[in-house]
Amino acid sequence: MTTSEFVRKQSSIYPNPTQHSVFIKNNSENLIVKIGIQGITGNLLFTEDQDFEQLSLDKLSSGIYFMKLYYNNGNNETHKIIKK
């Protein structure tokens, strides 16, 4: 893949930034099987393996996080999340 090619994300995360929860819209025919939330340093804070339409971030303090979505076809993608 060249740098001029655009790779479309399989899912959308909104609202971002958020205060409490984010909604996950899967735009792919592949199913999300797991979600991981990582801190800015890459440390895994928690995972979720059910309810992939909404994710509460209430237990996190304000900051920048990375949400990694894992799909049933073996692919994954990462979204930056800002918690107010």
- pLDDT (tens digit per residue) in 19-78: 999 999 999 899 999 999 999 999 999 999 988 899 999 999 999 999 999 999 999 999
Distance CA 13, CA 26 (A): 9
Q: Are 60 and 45 in contact (CB under 8 A)?
A: yes
Question: Model-level pTM?
Answer: 0.86
DSSP symbols for 49-76? -S--SEEE-TTSPSEEEEEEEEETTS-E
Please give the structure tokens belonging to residue 6: 């655009």
